[in-house]
Structure 1
Amino acid sequence: MASSVSWSIAAVTVLFLIMQVLAGRDFYNILGVSKSATTNQIKKAYRKLARELHPDKNRDDPEAAERFQDLGAAYEVLSDPDKRKVYDRHGEEGLSKGDMGGDPFSSFFGDFGFGFGMKEQEQEVPKGGDVIMDLDVTLEELYSGNFVEVVRYKPVAKPAKGTRKCNCRMEMVTQQLGPGRFQMMQQQVCDECPNVRFVPEEKLLEIEIESGMRDGQEYPFVAEGEPHIDGEPGDLRFKIKQIKHKKFERRGDDLYTNVTISLVDALAGFEMDIKHLDGHKVHIVRDKITWPGARMRKSNEGMPNYENNNVKGSLYITFDIDFPKGTLSDEVRADLKKLLNMESKHTVYNGLQGF
């Protein structure tokens, strides 16, 4: 009786595990979003996790590549309204089996060591080439953020007439040379597959320019690269290229700019406003003499930090003096010396002191 109960418990456990496999992966949990999340929330969650879970940043973690693939699969489904509807109704099993990769029974029994005549190790799936494209972005967009739409003409496989050789691999074959004599050699073996042709199809990609992104940073689209006739497509990566700005220069999270003031303002002091990248005004007050090359630092007026937008760098303002042109009369020069209470001073040096 006890043995019968044990077998029943074991059978229920195995059935539960099989049902879990059939249910597929929880894409909402993988992305860390709720089932009511908007498309933009899903995209933002994916971009953040893609940076954290990328295999290049987790070389010591043997499961990093698998987690990154799960993340890409979750994003591919939940960012597509049609696929998301099917997934919400029927789970991963309701989607096209070939698209999401893998037979759940094979995966389940393989984990427990039951081969059932299957190969011990699946052949590595070939992958198409990655596509890297430069994306010109303004400093204003990198400061405030923006969404950019790009039209992508992606080659898509369509059925074609005839067949082709596919899934080619090297296998060991035995050849009889004579009575009792055999020779083993490697031979290429291919399957016959339906022929396909690649047809370009227009696809609209939405790229989120996040606040604080840096020049050279990459924005990935999983499986949007070059296709592979017998495998998976590569990835499409947009590389951020910051356009040179007319008024500001970025160095890390800090901004630099120059302001030209008159000689009167340099001597008497002044107030002014500088228009920032998002349109807000930065107020400047100088109540002391400003010399050519003087620099002012305005904290928290630089670029937002990419990892934490609540933290910003500094804005550094360097002042140039616009000296009046022409010649002053002897009377004006005398009045200036008297007003400034300064004597003429001349120092001769080679300009390289201190080096």
Structure 2
Amino acid sequence: MATKVQFALVVMTIFMIFLEVFAGRDFYKILDVPKSATTNQIKKSYRRLAKQMHPDKNQDDPDAQERFQDLGAAYEVLSDADKRKIYDKHGEEGLSKSDMGGHDPFASFFGGDFGFFGGGGRQEQERPRGGDVVMDLEVTLEELYTGNFIEVLRYKPVAKPAKGTRKCNCRTEMVTQQLGPGRFQMTQQQVCDDCPNVRMVPEERMLEVEIEPGMRDGQEYPFVAEGEPHIDGDPGDLRFKIKQQKHGRFERRGDDLFTNVTITLVDAMNGFEMDIPHLDGHTVRVVRDKITWPGAKMRKPSEGMPNYENNNVKGSLFITFDIDFPKGAFTEEQKTVLKEILQQESKQQIYNGLQGY
């Protein structure tokens, strides 16, 4: 009886494993999104998880590459409307090999495969590699505040089959030659393989760069395998370097924003109220009910830039006030009235204004 129970458990275990493999991976679970998720939600979740799960950041985890591969496969399917329909109806097994095999799973964000789908492993790192390409990408301060998706047209050389063969995978090997009875000599010799010939053809491709809230000037956005191609190896990387455009109202320093406001002498003496338009369209209310002197500063907390690591945290907005003094000259009568109002006698003081620096 016990033997039959054990046999039944073994059969059930094998059957469950078979069902799990046959059913394929749960791409929604991998991407941590609901089945009703929009394309934009899928993109944002993928970007967040890709930064966390990138193998370069998890070198001590032997399963990091496999999980990153699953993440890329999930994004490839769910970000494509047609593939997503097939997956929702038939599961992963409903997707043909032509759809999944050889396609760039990280195309929309990282620009190419990461070497995991072609066998990968440590030997993949020893393959020759094309050069990296670094390009400046100008973005506005508004885009760095709210975030945005920017489409960039890329002309990329792609290898296409051509007639004939070529020498490839050339390497230096040690060759042993017999010189006579009991005599041998080892020499270095270049050995090459015969590979199908290829030609490089430029192809137009649209890359989508996500400008995340809080990204900083000079920060790089990588597209793996979108750099210079290598005919016998892997292409290099394409990296967009964020270049913040100069803004007319605000200056950014870290997560803080700085601006200057010019007010009249009347407002400086009597107080004033005003609204400053912010980068996303909301207004910052400024109220002064006391005298404002030239160079006075005001700090508005949580009105600066969002922090890149935690968008719920924002820097401060610092406002410096400049005074627009009236032009021309006052009459003697006006001067007398001003002295009575200000109740200040004429007084001058000479000092070193740089002592505080």
Normalised by the length of structure 2, the TM-score is 0.80
Equivalent pair of 1:154/1:200 in contact (CA under 8 Å)? yes
Taking a change above 3 Å as real, the CA distance of residues 168 and 55 of structure 1, as seen in their structure-2 partners, is: same
Hey, what's the Cα distance between the residues in 2 that align with 1:282 and 1:24?
Answer: 52
Counterpart Cα distance in 1 of 2:215 and 2:266: 40
Q: Contact (CA 8 Å) 1:220, 1:238: kept in 2 or not? A: yes
Q: What SS does the corresponding residue of 1:225 show, helix, strand or coil? A: coil
| Cα shift readout 1:225-278 (whole Å, capped 9, x = no counterpart) | 222222332322211111010110111111110000001110110111111112
1:225 maps to which residue? 227
- Structure 1 residues 216, 67: closer, same or farther in 2, change over 3 A? farther
Paired residue for 1:291, among 290, 293, 296?
293
1:54 and 1:340, CA in 2 relative to 1: closer, same or farther beyond 3 A?
Answer: same
The aligned residue for residue 185 of structure 1 is 187
Cα distance in 2 between the residues matched to 1:127 and 1:71: 24
Match of 1:101 in 2: 117
Code of the aligned partner of 2:51: R
Question: In the TM superposition, what are the counterparts of 1:43-122 in structure 2 within 5 Å?
Answer: 43-58=43-58, 68=68, 71-72=71-72, 74-76=74-76, 78-80=78-80, 88-90=91-93, 94-95=97-98, 97=101, 101-102=117-118
- Residue type of the alignment partner of 1:124: E
Letter in 1 for 2:53: L
Query: Separation in 1 of the partners of 2:141 and 2:179?
Result: 74
User: 1:132, CA displacement in angstroms?
Assistant: 1.8
Instruction: Between 335-344 and 79-88, report the one with greater CA deviation.
Output: 79-88
Aligned residues: 341
Matched residue, 1:117 = none
User: Which letter maps to 1:152?
Assistant: R
- 1:90-141 CA-to-partner distances (Å, cap 9, x unmatched) read 37882565566346xxx9xx9xxxxxxxxx9778333332222111000011
The residue matched to 1:310 in structure 2 has which SS? Answer: coil
Partner of 1:312: 314
Structure 2 gaps of 5+ residues are 104-115
Q: 1:144, 1:348 → 2: CA distance?
A: 48
RMSD over equivalenced CA pairs, Å: 3.7
Give yes or no for contact 1:212–1:306 (8 Å, CA) kept in 2.
yes
Q: Provide the C-alpha distance between the structure 2 equivalents of 1:130 and 1:56, rounded to a whole number of angstroms.
A: 17
- Deviates further, 196-205 or 337-346: 337-346
For 1:175 and 1:22, the matched residues in 2 are separated by 54
Shift, 1:287, TM fit:
0.3
With 205-214 and 345-354 compared, the bigger mean Cα shift is at 345-354
1:12 shift after superposition: 9.9
8 A contact 2:226–2:238 mirrored in 1: yes
Q: Identify the match of residue 262 of structure 1 among 261, 264, 267.
A: 264
Q: Contact conserved, 2:177 with 2:184, CA < 8 A, in 1?
A: yes
Kindly state the Cα deviation for residue 179 of structure 1 after the two structures are TM-superposed. 2.1
One-letter code aligned to 1:219: Y
How many Å separate the matches in 2 of 1:278 and 1:80?
30
Equivalent-residue separation in structure 2 for 1:223 and 1:73 (angstroms): 16
Q: Structure 2 vs 1, CA of residues 181 and 67 (structure 1 numbering), >3 Å: closer, same or farther? A: farther
Match of 2:167 in 1: 165
Residue 171 of structure 1 deviates from its aligned partner by 3.2
The 8 Å contact of residues 149 and 209 in structure 2, kept in 1 or not, is answered as yes
The aligned amino acid for 1:243 is Q
- Alignment partner, residue 206 of structure 2: 204
Distance 1:14 1:170 in 2: 48
Task: Report SS of the residue matched to 2:328.
Answer: coil
Which residue is equivalent to 2:217?
215
Residue type at the aligned position of 2:178: Q
After TM superposition, the structure 1 stretch with the greater mean CA deviation from structure 2, 140-149 or 172-181, is 172-181
**Where does residue 39 of structure 1 map in the other structure?**
39
State the distance in 1 between where 2:16 and 2:192 align: 39
Which of 8-17 and 344-353 deviates more?
Answer: 8-17
Write the distance in 1 (CA, Å) between the matches of 2:12 and 2:199.
47
Counterpart Cα distance in 2 of 1:121 and 1:150: 33
Query: Could you tell me which of 320, 323, 336 is aligned with 1:321?
Result: 323
The match for 2:277 is 275
Q: Distance in 2 between matches of 1:276 and 1:225?
A: 38
Contact 1:302 1:313 survives alignment (8 Å): yes
TM-score normalised by structure 1 residue count: 0.80
Identical-pair percentage: 73
> Does the Cα contact within 8 Å between 2:141 and 2:245 map onto a contact in 1?
yes
Distance 1:316 1:98, change over 3 A: closer
Deviation at residue 68 of structure 1 after TM alignment: 4.8
Secondary structure of the 2:126 match is coil
State the distance in 1 between where 2:173 and 2:94 align.
38
CA drift at 1:20: 7.6
Unpaired runs of 5+ in structure 1? 111-119
Q: Secondary structure at the match of 1:250?
A: strand
